[in-house]
Amino acid sequence: MCAGSAATDTAAFSVVARVDANDNLLIPLVPANDGLAAKAAPKPTTRWSMPMTVEDLLSALGARMGLPDLQLDESRSCQLLFDGHLAVDIEAPVDQGGIVFLHSTVGIVRPEGREALFQQLLEANLFGRGTGGAVLSVDGQRYEILLHRSLQTRQIDFSDFVDALEQFIQYASHWMERLAQSHGAAPPSAAPLNAGGSTALRG
């Protein structure tokens, strides 16, 4: 975990939301409390005059959350832990040119029931309806289910970043709970989906 990582209660990010007929969480509607962003307040009209780097964004986020040392580590990643169990990784690879990745492990693939599970994930990915614009995918080496999203730092300000992070936390929490209820945890003997595969960010 990088410098500045800390445990924060997910209750700070709770919102009133809707669920569709397939139990997909829809776009959050009304903040239930303040969270990181101002409650039900319009975005300020004053925006940063210059694009913010990921370092700028994390510095501002750390100041907002009371984590003055929040920053990327030597691998250009940082992890925040919410409610003691929901870990959100923030990564900014040098070779990605201003792209920030948010990702969180929300479940584990079991050897049985994979077809139904994958259909569920793909249906949620359709037009981002069940993910808030993020993507559900599977790490073939670790047989973990991830929710991930990329952001262009050149196209967002701090308010946009906070909005995206809050929404990502909500969907990650939703999918972690939903998958735990419907699929449970994989036994240690579960076979990887692709023993020879690799992941770009996770090594």
Q: What is the pLDDT of residues 116-144, one digit of tens each?
A: 999 999 999 999 999 999 999 999 899 99
Q: Which residues of 138-160 are buried (b: 16+ CB within 10 A; e: fewer)?
A: bbbbbbbbbbbbebebeebbbbb
The residue that leads in pLDDT, 192 or 149, is 149
Nearest alpha carbon to residue 1 among 105, 55, 74: 74
Per CATH, domain 7-34+51-182 is 3.40.50.150: no
And the tokens for 152? 């262009």
Number of DSSP helices (H) and strands (E) in the chain, helices first: 3, 8
The residue that leads in pLDDT, 157 or 199, is 157
Q: How high is the pLDDT of residue 94? A: 87
Q: How high is the pLDDT of residue 50? A: 61
SS (H, E, C) 37-59: CCCCCCCCCCCCCCCCCHHHHHH
User: What span, in angstroms and rounded, lies between the C-alpha atoms of 125 and 82?
Assistant: 24
Distances (CA, A) of 180 to 29, 173, 185: 25, 11, 7
And the tokens for 44? 């300020």
Mean pLDDT of the chain: 75
Percent of the chain with pLDDT over 90: 52
